[in-house]
Amino acid sequence: MKLFLKLGSYIFHPLWLPTYAMLFYFFHVSFMFTYENMAAKLLAVMLLTVFIPIFFLILLKPLRIIDSFQLKNVKERRIPLLLFTTISAIIINYIFDPIHYKIPFYFFSAVFFCGLVCIVLSFFRYKISLHATGISSLVTFIIGFSLLYHINNLWLISLLILAVGWVISSRLVMKAHRIDELLSGLVLGVTSQLIFMQYWGV
> What pLDDT digit, counting tens, does each position of 10-68 carry?
999 999 999 999 999 999 999 999 999 999 999 999 999 999 999 988 888 777 777 76
- pLDDT band at residue 2 using 50, 70 and 90 as cut-offs: confident
Q: What is the tens place of the pLDDT at every residue in 59-73? A: 887 777 777 666 778
**This model's pTM is above 0.85:** yes
Q: What is the tens place of the pLDDT at every residue in 121-136? A: 999 999 999 999 999 9
The domain spans of the chain are 2-197
| CB contact set of 101 (below 8 Å; sequence gap of 6+) | 41, 95
- 130 with 185: CB under 8 angstroms? yes
Report pLDDT for 6.
84
- 185 with 132: CB under 8 angstroms? yes
Q: Does the structure show a pLDDT above 90 at 200? A: yes
Q: Does the structure show a pLDDT above 70 at 79? A: yes
| CB atoms inside a 10 Å sphere around CB 137 | 27
| CB atoms inside a 10 Å sphere around CB 96 | 22
